[in-house]
Structure 1
Amino acid sequence: MLHRSVLGHHRWRSERDLAQAIYGTVIGAAAIAVGSAHADLTETVLTAVVTVAVYWAAERYAEVLAAAVHAAGRRERVLTALRRGLPVVEAGLTPLVLLVVVALLTGRLGLAVFSALGLATLMLGGFGHVAARRAGATRLQAIGWGLCSAALGGVVIGLKMLLH
């Protein structure tokens, strides 16, 4: 179920969508790691949501600007450009859901943060693997790409440990 609902999201058909999901997951995880260093649950959530939203808006603005320059089909191009960035938001905020649930259930923000970062790392590994397979990589190559993607999560966990 996780593979279908998160890693192989039905709207994420292309390698580009999965690349966007990797990008969003790293942004969201880094925002959680940094935001939780000196904040409570509410501030950590706000930091992550605002950070993911700003990155999404900046990236989409650049693409919308490029699409809006063309007179023909401007409205459709702009809407398509906005939709293309949704994996950044969806994947970027998924670990945040786990963070909130674990924090509310246990009352331990530290545990919730590391749970969310662990999920982000697993997601990154899965996204890298699925993207590589969709691009035609062998199983072994896809495992390598998955491990490289998961390593990004490891870097974020390392950042969190340095800030703690």
Structure 2
Amino acid sequence: MGSAVMVAASLHGALGQVVISVVVTLLVYWVTERYAELLAAGARGSVPDRQAVIVALHHGWPMLQASYLPVVALLVASALGAELPTAVLAALCLSTVLLANLGYGAARRSDASLLSALGWAAASAMLGVAVILLKLALH
């Protein structure tokens, strides 16, 4: 999600606008996703108490954390003198590596074989590659 927003925002925005767009979009996405989970619990007949809300927010937190590393890469690349398109590309490459790692880790946690986990890593990385190709097509 963050990578796609980064690509779109970088088409017409400066570094600050890109960072704000990604951070705000990710926060809204996170809140919306967590709210939907709480609504689903309510629809199943259980009224979420304070603890259930905290648990729901906590369960979505890793997705949010993983999304901010590419923003850090964007800022670091820019601080090192990279132009915005190059800094965005660096952030997208990191995002692709993170996606591959998350795919691999999820597969291994579910007791998948090494070969299967590598397949999941490759499939996950292809999502990042698709965003990179989108960026290259748009710039």
TM score, norm. by length of structure 1: 0.79
Q: Distance in 2 between matches of 1:163 and 1:106?
A: 22
Per-residue Cα deviation, 1:65-111 (whole angstroms, up to 9, x for no partner): 3345624x711111101111101210111100010111122141111
Identify the match of residue 70 of structure 1 among 46, 54, 75: 46
Residue segments in structure 1 that go unaligned for 5+ positions in a row:
1-26
The reply to whether residue 49 of structure 1 matches residue 23 of structure 2 is yes
State the percentage of identical aligned residues: 44
Q: CA RMSD in A?
A: 1.4
SS state at 2:112 partner: coil
After the TM superposition, which parts of structure 1 deviate over 6 Å for at least 4 consecutive aligned residues?
none
- Whole-Å separation in 1 of the counterparts to 2:68 and 2:41: 26
In the alignment, the residues of structure 2 paired with residue 119 and residue 107 of structure 1 have an alpha-carbon distance, to the nearest angstrom, of 15
Greater RCO structure (CA 8 Å; 6+ sep): 1
Aligned to 1:154: 129
2:113 to 127, 138, 149: 138
Cα distance per residue 1:43-75 (max 9 Å; x no partner) = 10011111111111110111123345624x711
Aligned to 1:14: none
Number of equivalent positions: 137
Pair 1:148–1:107, CA change in 2 (3 A)? closer
Match status 1:29 vs 2:41: no
Are the aligned partners of 1:124 and 1:146 in contact in 2 as well (CA < 8 Å)? yes
Q: Distance in 2 between matches of 1:122 and 1:63?
A: 28
The letter for the 1-side match of 2:71 is L
Give the Cα–Cα distance (whole angstroms) in 2 for the partners of residues 121 and 109 of structure 1. Answer: 18
